[in-house]
Structure 1
Amino acid sequence: MAVSMVVLASRPRDWTQEQFTNWWRGPHADAARVLPGLIAYRHGAVTKDYDNPEAPGWDGHAVLTFADQAALDAAFASPEWKAATAQTKGMGGRRIILITDEVDLLAGDDHG
């Protein structure tokens, strides 16, 4: 069963949404896409916050998918992980990181 790391993040206070998205999809993506065992990597820039449309609480999310927990653990132990996370040190902003067991609910009748 696939395992994903889901990250929900807000930008540093002195960055625009555009700066944050460009960094996330540029230099940070370049560092993260080389993680060993990574089989999918998606990013979404928040365009609307239904709960707080006047002042969105989040600026983007990423989903990094691995074949299983062992592959995720190997990525976490890698020098590539250390390089990717070093970019975020001291940035500010907020984040939530979740590890999830993922099932494709469109793929068929096996739901877990």
Structure 2
Amino acid sequence: MIKVMVLLRRPQSWTRERFHRWWLDEHVAHGKKPNLRKYRVCLVTGSTSHKGREPWDGIAELWFDDRAALDRAWSSEVGRTALAHSRESHSDRLVLITEEHELAPAAERAR
């Protein structure tokens, strides 16, 4: 399973509330990429200092079966449109492409 994590900083002219509204009300419609297994948005409500830099304002988590599925999603028309739409929303972005390893299945964690 491939998990993409995208950390975003909002534009300086946007409030955190404006950024949250943009992500949940406007951008989420662009998240329906082909081959996407799961899409989660984590909106930051507080964080520690970052050595004079603004903190990250949100994190997206996107799951794909494998790297080929991720590549197909981002190269599709829907994927290209989503990437173009996201460029208006941030002053900085960090994209991490990871291979997820689940160490404790959900059923075991519930006990």
TM-score range relative to shorter protein? 0.7 to 0.9
What's the secondary structure of 1:73's corresponding residue? helix
* Over 6 Å off, 4+ runs: none
Q: Number of aligned pairs?
A: 105
Q: How far apart are residue 89 of structure 1 and its match? A: 3.0
Aligned amino acid, residue 86 of structure 2: T
Whether the aligned pair in 2 keeps the contact of 1:9 and 1:61 (CA below 8 Å) is yes
Q: Where in structure 2 are the equivalents of 1:1-112 lying within 5 Å?
A: 2-32=1-31, 34-52=32-50, 56-107=54-105
Aligned amino acid, residue 6 of structure 1: M
TM-score, normalization by structure 2: 0.84
What's the secondary structure of 2:87's corresponding residue? coil
Higher helix share: 2
In the alignment, the residues of structure 2 paired with residue 44 and residue 92 of structure 1 have an alpha-carbon distance, to the nearest angstrom, of 15
Whether the aligned pair in 1 keeps the contact of 2:9 and 2:54 (CA below 8 Å) is no
**Which blocks of at least 5 consecutive residues in structure 1 are unaligned?**
none
TM-score, normalization by structure 1: 0.84
In the alignment, the residues of structure 2 paired with residue 43 and residue 92 of structure 1 have an alpha-carbon distance, to the nearest angstrom, of 15
**Which blocks of at least 5 consecutive residues in structure 2 are unaligned?**
107-111
Whether the aligned pair in 2 keeps the contact of 1:48 and 1:56 (CA below 8 Å) is no
What's the secondary structure of 1:19's corresponding residue? helix
User: Percent identity among equivalent residues?
Assistant: 37
In the alignment, the residues of structure 2 paired with residue 99 and residue 16 of structure 1 have an alpha-carbon distance, to the nearest angstrom, of 28
